[in-house]
Structure 1
Amino acid sequence: MALRPYWKGYLKLSLVTCSVEMTPATSDSDRVKFHTLNRDTGNRVLSQYVDSVTGKPVRDKDEVKGYQRGEDDYVMLEDDDLDHVALESTKTIDISTFAPRDEIDWIWLDNPYYLTPNDKISDEAFAVIRAAMEKQKMVGISRLVLGRRERAVMLEPRGKGIVLWTLRYGDEVRDEADYFKGLDEEKPEKAALPLIRKLIKKQTRHWDAKMVSDPVQENLLDIIKSKKKHRRAPAPKKAAPSDNDKPSNVINIMDALRKSIEADNKRSKKK
């Protein structure tokens, strides 16, 4: 079922403009979620804002944003003040820069959204912008205000639509060189590479969403189902232990690889 759009506005490239809508590309709505209850009454426990000095609950209409400038000293900002700093990117994705897709490393990508035309009139302009980027293997770089914060975004053609990625801020990305430096000093044994390639080939599968299923989620659903029927909760399913699961002090990589291939062959025969 299609979700309600998270954001609506305009996609603009020079003089070409079209109406678009944006929907999150991922969802956690099917995750098992819990409420906190009062064990004695079974009623839900509600959270609320409380004045840190008086201890009294604060009404919604009395809540206000505050910027701390000193100890117990805040500058209050009303909604009108925050609205005054609204930028054009609040409602318009203006593509001002293009970049080769392969130059933007994965670590900069934050959250994905599906970007689609908002009405039939916008279909043609949207298709022209998407097709032009796809043909030249380029992505668009722009800015967009989400949650009162302006974010850099990347627009990537995907199928008949566009995937919009919010990009991380520069100070959020750590330099990999700080962690990987010196790792290339170790040279792998030449004899080990063919064995590793053989192991990789035997364990290669086509991608399937089941590869990232959550066994904890499945166990929780089993427990909830049994509780509904007032039965004793089943014990979580555990995989049968194998020799490969036991800790080993094997230091020789060649021996370890040979054992891995032998174990994989045994599993294949059982299947």
Structure 2
Amino acid sequence: MARQVFWKGYLKLSLVTCPVAMTPAVSGREQIRFHTINKKTGNRVRSQYVDAETGKPVADDDEAKGYEVEEGKLIVFTDKELEAVELESTRTIDIDTFVPSESIGWIWYDRPYLLVPDDKVGEEAFAVIREAMKATGMVGIARLVISNRERAVLLRPRDKGIVVWTLRYGDEVRDAKDYFGEIDKAKIAAKTLKLMRKVIAKDIEAWSPKFSHDQLQDRLRRLIKKRSAALKKPARKKTAKDEPASNVVSITDALRASLQKERRKSR
């Protein structure tokens, strides 16, 4: 299977550098996605920017970035102004800091990528960096430009490769103490806790991807398969057997059933 490469560049630690390739560790390719269509025509709908006041479509050349400094007052920026403050799209993951692997809480982890050496010559340098982190129990911290935005990233060795995690920005993570600190400390009876531990113990299993299986996708696939099959079947001509029963027969059957029910009650 051909490797899907998302990013290519260099991994650097001090004077050691090697070419690397990076790929997202997760994929939504198998997820079912729907198109928005015009149900009257069956045609797909195209999205378009529209002026909020005039209601008229806005041409691509007339679009610009604006920031609302106060209600109804916007500052409009040119592309050149925004490009001037952007960071250079560096192609080097330069590890400049190491921290103990257990010191970063899970909440800081954002999106994982798989990092591998990009040629045979660089495999030794890649392996040295990877094994040194394993031996010391450390993970590397660097900065990387992804999709024109600088991200702090964490490099964690795994098997023969390295997992690169983008980290959440500092202002994105809420302090759990602001929420959990308001919960009163409950007094739990030892007997109750013992029973609950038994309940947990009987349901322990080894982790498996099946636990996070998307059942909705399965139901959607069955629905799509059913509807697709119906489209392929030619329309069947109606026959005399398909004609609905007359009202006379239906009413008669209903009355007969009603009388039988009344007789059973009177017995």
Residue deviations 1:218-265 (CA, integer Å, cap 9, x gap):
11111111101118xxxxxxxxxxxxxxxxxxxxxxxxxxxxxxxxxx
The farther-off stretch of 186-195 and 204-213 is 186-195
SS at match of 1:116: strand
Matched, 1:29 2:29: yes
Match of 1:229, as an amino acid?
A: A
| Structure 1 stretches lacking a partner, 5+ long | 232-271
User: Whole-Å Cα distance in 2 between the matches of residues 104 and 221 of structure 1?
Assistant: 39
Report the count of equivalent residues: 230
| Equivalences for residues 1-271 of structure 1 within 5 A | 1-68=1-68, 71=72, 73-78=74-79, 81-87=81-87, 90-181=90-181, 183=183, 185-230=185-230
What TM-score, normalized to structure 2? 0.78
- Give secondary structure in 1 for the equivalent of 2:189: coil
Letter paired with 2:87: L
Q: Secondary structure at the match of 1:121?
A: coil
Q: Which amino acid aligns with 2:76?
A: V
Would you say the 8 A contact 1:134–1:157 is kept in 2?
Answer: yes
Q: Contact between 2:8 and 2:91, CA under 8 Å: does it hold in 1?
A: yes
Is the CA contact (8 Å cut-off) linking 1:50 and 1:57 kept in structure 2? yes
Distance (Å, rounded) in 1 between the aligned partners of 2:126 and 2:78: 38
Residue aligned with 2:165, SS: strand
C-alpha distance in structure 1 between counterparts of 2:2 and 2:195, whole Å: 47
Query: Shift of residue 59 of structure 1?
Result: 3.9
Cα offset, 1:158, TM superposition: 0.6
Alpha-carbon RMSD across the aligned residues, in angstroms, is 2.2
Deviations 1:91-119 (A, max 9, x none): 11111100001010001101111111122
**How much does 1:4 deviate?**
2.5
Identity of aligned residues (%): 55
8 Å CA contact 1:116, 1:161 repeated in 2: yes
Regions of 4+ moved over 6 Å: none
